[in-house]
Amino acid sequence: MSIQQNLHSTKAQLPKNVTLVAVSKTKPIASLQEAYDAGQRVFGENKIQEMTAKWEILPKDIEWHMIGNLQRNKVKYMAEYVHLIHAVDGLKLLQEINKQAKKHKRSINCLLQIKIAKEVSKFGLSFKEAFEIITSKEFSTLKNIRIIGVMGMATFTDNQKQVQQEFLTLKETFKQLKKDNSAFEIISMGMSGDYKLAIDCGSNMVRIGSSIFGIRNYK
Ligand SMILES: *Cc1c(COP(=O)(O)O)cnc(C)c1O
């Protein structure tokens, strides 16, 4: 199947309110161009240098989403153009994003990554930590960022019940945090292997790579 066909069959399964982030990490420009030509405008990458190299070449109406864990010293390379940063996991990082956004006289949208998986390797904040950030004095002084929701990754397991539990936890976390931040609107959860379940559990943004672009050899 071509990228175009994969894209169309994936999109056909998404409800209207669900945004598809086509995860193009490790894939060559030609693959992104093919998805673009098929109408896709939202792309996700997990390395800032790679995303910036692609941004420089590809059409400027693409929305670039940073979905990977961030090194603070690299935020400056994407501050000019990034549309949404998914994996924010601390106040220091938010301060740096705010600083860089300000230099470009813009505001950058962010999601807080919440740790829902049992695996120790997965990043993210607890509900309490996320709550402390959005209600903190420091956060209220950051005028060039907006936190507009949450992101999470479920445990890599065949146990559907467990994955469902984790997604429902993220949905509940979103609901609770939204009480203190009316700008909350996005729940980014679901990848190639689990996006249908994620949507059933309340996701409105899915990050899908391999079922569109084919399997990756690394990363
Ligand atoms: C790679 C990646 C995805 C996409 O994974 P697929 O299984 O290829 O769909 C989604 N989210 C994050 C954070 C990723 O790093």
Q: For 59-110, how does the pLDDT look when each residue is reduced to its tens digit (9 = 90+)?
A: 999 999 999 999 999 999 999 999 999 999 999 999 999 999 999 999 999 9
Q: What token pair was written down for 110?
A: 């962010």
Residue with the nearest Cα to atom 6 of ligand 1?
Answer: 209
Record the pTM.
Answer: 0.96
Contact of 205 with 186, CB cutoff 8 Å: yes
What CA–CA distance (Å, rounded) separates 99 from 129? 22
pLDDT tens sequence across 12-71: 999 999 999 999 999 999 999 999 999 999 999 999 999 999 999 999 999 999 999 999
**Ligand 1, atom nearest to 192 Cα:** 9
Ligand 1: residue of 14, 23, 31, 42 to mutate (most ligand atoms within 8 A of CB) is: 23
